[in-house]
């Protein structure tokens, strides 16, 4: 299990954050697949492995470890978004960030993967609100930064992360990597 605590369940009026349970898996998987199909329709190869049936970030395992946060509307409990927040770097993270095996047992980073917003709610600033909540609404024991990556050719997504205050740390194997220090509250 992870050592993270939701300290503010309300993302904004009408939207709440929850730690995902195994009962949420199918719904979260479908939201992620819908996003992957949408990305593909826009010409992006990001998350292309999902469309081939490969789950590089092991959603089921991430849910079991308590690493998946879901965002639901208060009104009808509809799934508005989700994110994976890994407290241990995966093989993918170690490769992109140049970490050796000694770094794999912890460190001070949280690795953000698969941030998704329901397409019906997209374009209204919800992604920014979720990113802000990830920094302020949850606490990670012993962690002082969030790291993430995106495909290097996705300029719009890279710009989004910059607008959210993430610092570009370079490109590795065709992926841009970003980092943001967490402010102690």
Token code pair at residue 162: 């910059």
Quickly state the pLDDT bin for 105 (edges 50, 70, 90).
low
Quickly state the pLDDT bin for 161 (edges 50, 70, 90).
very high
Between 181 and 104, the more confident residue is 181
pLDDT value for 184: 65
Residue pLDDT, tens place only, 20-72: 999 999 999 999 999 999 989 988 888 888 889 888 889 999 999 999 999 99
Q: In what order do the strands lie in the sheet with 167-172?
A: 10-12, 15-19, 68-73, 79-86, 109-117, 145-151, 175-181, 167-172
Distance CA 88, CA 14 (A): 31
Res. 103: pLDDT tops 60: no
Share above pLDDT 70 across residues of the chain, in percent, rounded to a whole number: 95
Quickly state the pLDDT bin for 18 (edges 50, 70, 90).
very high
Residue among 23, 7, 115 at smallest CA distance from 77? 23
Distance CA 175, CA 57 (A): 16
Across the range 2-7, mean pLDDT stands at 84
pLDDT value for 101: 61
Q: Please give the helix or strand (H or E) that residue 116 lies within, else none.
A: strand 109-117
Quickly state the pLDDT bin for 1 (edges 50, 70, 90).
very low
């Amino acid at each position: 299990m992870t050592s993270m605590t939701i300290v503010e369940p309300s993302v904004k009026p009408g939207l709440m954050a929850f730690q995902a349970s195994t009962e949420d898996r199918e719904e979260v998987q479908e939201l992620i697949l819908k996003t992957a199909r949408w990305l593909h329709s826009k010409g992006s190869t990001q998350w292309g492995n999902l469309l081939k049936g490969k789950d590089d970030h092991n959603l089921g395992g991430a849910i079991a470890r308590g690493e998946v946060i879901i965002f639901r509307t208060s009104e009808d409990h509809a799934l508005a978004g989700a994110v994976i927040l890994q407290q241990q770097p995966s093989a993918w993270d170690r490769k992109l960030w140049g970490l050796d095996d000694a770094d794999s047992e912890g460190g001070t980073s949280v690795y953000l993967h698969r941030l998704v917003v329901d397409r019906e709610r997209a374009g209204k600033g919800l992604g920014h609100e979720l990113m802000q909540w990830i920094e302020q609404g949850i606490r990670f024991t012993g962690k002082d930064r969030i790291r993430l990556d995106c495909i290097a050719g996705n300029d719009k997504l890279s710009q989004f992360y910059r607008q959210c205050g993430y610092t570009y740390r370079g490109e590795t194997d065709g992926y841009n990597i970003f980092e943001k220090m967490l402010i102690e509250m």
